[in-house]
Amino acid sequence: VLNYALNKTRGPETGSKRLLLSGYSQTGTMPPCPSTYLLKHTGTLDRWCPVQTDVEEYMRKTFAERIIIIDGAMGTVIQQYKLEEEDFRATETFNDDPTWTYGTAKPDVFSSHTAELKGNNDLLTLTKPSIINEIHRRYFEAGADICETNTFSGTWVAQADYELEHMVYDINYKSAKLCKMAAMEVEAATGQRRFCAGAMGPTNRTLSISPKVENAAFRNITFQELVVAYKDQIKGLVDGGCDILFVETIFDTLNAKAALFAIDVFMEEYNVNIPIVVSGTIVDMSGRTLSGQTTEAFWISVEHSKPLCVGLNCALGPDQMRPFMTRLSNCATTFTHAYPNAGLPNAMGGYDLNPKDMAKSLKEWAQDGLVNAIGGCCGTTPDHIKAFADAVRGMKPARTIPDHPNHMRLCGLEPFEINPSSMFANIGERCNVAGSIRFKKLIVANDWGKAAEIAQNQVESGAQLLDVNFDDGMLDGEDCMRKFCNLIATEPEICKIPVVVDSSKFDVCIAGLECLQGKCLFNSISLKVGEELFIKHAKLVKRYGAAVIVMAFDEEGQAATCEDKVRICKRAYDLIVGPKVGFNPVDIVFDLNILTICTGMEEHNNYGVDFIKATEEVIRVCPGAKISGGLSNLSFSFRGLELIRQAMHSVFLYHNIKKGMHMAIVNAGELPIYDDIDPELRELCEDAILNRNAESTDKMLELAEKEKTRLDEIKAGGGGGAAAKVAAEWRSKPVRDRLMHALLKGIDEFVVLDTEEARLDKEQFKQPLHIIEGPLMDGMNTIGDLFGAGKMFLPQVIKSARVMKKAVAHLTPFMEAEKEAALLLNPDLKATKPGKIVIATVKGDVHDIGKNIVGVVLGCNNYEIVDLGVMCSCEKILDACVAEEADVLGLSGLITPSLDEMVTVAKEAKKRGLKIPILIGGATTSRMHTAVKIEPCYNYPVVHVLDASRAVTVVGSLLDPELKDDFGADTRELYVEMREEHYASLEERKFLTLQQTRDKAMHIDWKNRPTMPITPSFLGVRTYNNVPLDDLVPYIDWNPFFSVWQLRGKYPNRGYPRIFDDADVGAEAKRVFDDAVKMLKSICAGRKLQANGV
């Protein structure tokens, strides 16, 4: 795909490495899709109906006249048909085609398929086409202008979970055909045009987040693999009759960029123009996507694709989505849409917002100018769509596309704009192996974590962009760029700013773009490769959605004089702004070559002046373009003398910024303020840079010798002149606070040191385990609260979990030593093993991102994780629990049918006699559903876990011998109360008849019990007379005693003796207990009672 994008003109040294037509994964981690499954693209469409070339023109005209209606949820309506496994394996004749279901495959392709298929809704296109066609028709008849195809999981990446990669083209082609047929039928009946939109979902993998806790740079799929997968999907959709392509439910913008890349390549290769609609998903009230981007950054990242319409869908209801839709509407310079869920999921996993109320909200959106199109996502039906259409019928659109000035807009997780009122932008330079010896040593030593700390220091020191460069003959530049960009993409404090991918090798920069979801700055391209390849490079950079730095080079070499700089830049500007490329002028940055002065060669003395003059002239002749440069070159003559070098840089910028320079690669935080530079040094720097004194070089050299002597004296004196490093304020706090701070901020530099200090403090922490249960778990709980409140987002939680893992890893040997010592003292004790947790996404569900995060966080806390993956049958899950001797089972699911499957697993676990706790988690799960539907089906604890960070606390409580009984009892009691509240709140109750009730009576088959009753130790009557009272006292259960006194501690201080530690009732409980013990002693001593028993 990439070779095609370059029109197969790339050099042999780079071209073959990047062509992934066989599904080859450069990570070596994802089983590649066999090449037999991939299409051989010929550039010719095989479409059953003509392409409508006027769709975009018609849509733009209609957007100006009325509100466009998009359909509602496909999955919600499919659930109404109550389909079972056999329906997903059925064979159906449709449209007089007896081979509709299996196409070119074998007739028994599904009936004999070994993998379970229920839940693969896309497959119903082939096995139940009449249902899918009927759903489309119902939506069109309800008033939808646009219906999306049943292809949300229509790539081989997603279908691999069902082992149906080979059916991808059939699924997409026939899904589009079913939708298009319904559109044509309703259009003919009503006289109003209807359109088929190809749904392109995000897949079940993410390019921006690592699924491995121990390797943040790891990815289980590559950008190019996704491009290939999406391109094959597009071919089926377009051949099948799609009029529009919907890239939707975007939780990771990098995945969406792969889809948009594939669309761009496809449309060029097949010479077809299909309008694009882009739809993101804001996952919670933080206003960010799952991969951490803000709404504005999301738009900046996809704007290059020039979508007909952009909007938001899924995850939130109208009330929750409105503020984020407002922000998108304000920044997007195209039409906007929204198709929210029917409210938030209720306790049972359903959606409660009825058509009338939802229509009212969306009508207000249209009236307030937020949207040009509306529709529905999860929980919506044709009734909702009819209500929407009725609500806005005849309404003139209130929204007008904002006319924002054409400024450079870049982004990481957050937006960054350069406009006429912007301050000068610092590009952090320290992540460059050519410019930083420390950074290079870390890369060579494979210490990627410390290398990332350099990047974070640059951001904290004021860098607004981050330059990343791995140009070194002994390094694999592509591999290093990919690893480092993947790593910093998971560090929110780094990747919040845009990245400058920097290399003299084009492919190395491309590797960086394929790892970063934001809008990057590509550094660089130039005319030194000739006009033809220069244009192709520029087109490809544009296709990736990046801005570009153009070096002032041409076929003759580097521009040194002002005249050459201006000439080359003007030539390059005209080429890429013109029709051959169409680059936005404001996304072009010219590096005019900051060259070294004070070399002793007279011809170099004017380099500073030439740059400053060229800056002003290039800005004049290349409207919109920006000016940049690498500052370190200027002072290269004085390497090792940072005082002089930084002064030169500051003086150079002072004069050049006044001429219009926009940005430069600098050591952020090290530049002195112009007025703070020693006056003598400042004047010498100005003489040299402005070439206003013929003796400036000699004077600078004299100053350099003095500085070198001063540094040598300091070194000889043991560094007495070095500034002492002042510890950060938080480092002076108590160790408990320092550990919590490290967790909250994701700082691992001191965590081992602080953990060891805590371990040695036996007054605070008698055992290493108490450190984990104390400050470390308190920190994780706080993180859970912040994450739930939208004040932290996913990458930060992962980062904190890694800090937790480092602390636990330090404590583990000491805990193991304690266990061994205890065994030596008492060999009867059994060595405790780390808790083993089996986690799985239940049958019918292929979503696993949340489950993977839970695995990461629990793994960081020293638990052994057995991840069964997705689409796990009940039998597979329970068999694994037995085989692995699991301590806890974790069930995950995202879609509503998963809730029923979790109930099934709980029932079967009870039948098999499992005695381990079950954790319930996932987007549609809730504590209420767990309490009402799942917990009653199992005899042991079933606990709903709100998010990944909470899982640590829950599992710890469930496995702690001293806590588990109280925790389980508390949870069970809470769930009983919730069930009672739920049933009491039901507006309508359905009672069984007397006979139905009797039929449900319990029947015990005594004869066929799997185990025989235990034989009693004796038969008959045995009496106990005058048993010593002192013998009975140790067996007293004190919990009923406290209950009678209405004293009830809160977890974990609920039962005896922990109740004495309870903040509310502990003191009173101890008082009445002491009175009771005193009374008991009196009774026993005076033999006031006689104990007899039978």
By annotation, the residues acting in catalysis are 845, 847, 898
- Residue 666 parent element (H or E): strand 663-666
- Report how far residue 211's alpha carbon sits from residue 480's, in angstroms, rounded to the nearest whole number: 20
C-alpha triplet 432, 674, 467: angle, nearest 5°: 15
Residue 465, classed as helix, strand or coil, is: strand
Residue 791, classed as helix, strand or coil, is: coil
Q: Which DSSP state fits 731? A: G
- Report how far residue 483's alpha carbon sits from residue 363's, in angstroms, rounded to the nearest whole number: 47
Question: Phi and psi at residue 211, in whole multiples of 5°?
Answer: -85, 0
Q: Which two tokens stand for residue 783?
A: 């993180």
- Report how far residue 329's alpha carbon sits from residue 321's, in angstroms, rounded to the nearest whole number: 12
Do residues 886 and 837 lie in contact, with contact meaning Cβ atoms separated by under 8 Å? yes
Do residues 272 and 281 lie in contact, with contact meaning Cβ atoms separated by under 8 Å? no
What is the secondary structure of 283-307 as a DSSP string?
-STT-B-TTS-BHHHHHHHHGGG--
Number of residues that make up the chain: 1094
Contact partners, residue 604, CB within 8 Å, separation at least 6: 595, 596, 597, 598
Q: Which two tokens stand for residue 473?
A: 């003959």
Q: Which DSSP state fits 579? A: T
Peptide bond into 1057 cis (omega under 30): yes
- Report how far residue 697's alpha carbon sits from residue 194's, in angstroms, rounded to the nearest whole number: 75
Q: Which two tokens stand for residue 580?
A: 């051959």
Q: Which DSSP state fits 1060? A: G
Distance of alpha carbon 368 from its chain centroid, rounded? 32
The neighbour count for residue 166, using CB atoms within 10 Å, is: 16
- Burial tier of 1005 (Cβ tally within 10 Å: 0-12, 13-18, 19+): exposed
Question: Phi and psi at residue 516, in whole multiples of 5°?
Answer: -125, 125
Name residue 181's amino acid: M
Name residue 1019's amino acid: L
* Residue in the block written with tokens 């408990």: 736
- Report how far residue 731's alpha carbon sits from residue 741's, in angstroms, rounded to the nearest whole number: 9
* Residue in the block written with tokens 């089983």: 31
Cα 63 to Cα 374, 443, 880, 884, 1001, distances in angstroms: 11, 53, 55, 58, 62
- Report how far residue 1009's alpha carbon sits from residue 848's, in angstroms, rounded to the nearest whole number: 40
According to DSSP, the residues that pair with 182 across neighbouring strands are: none
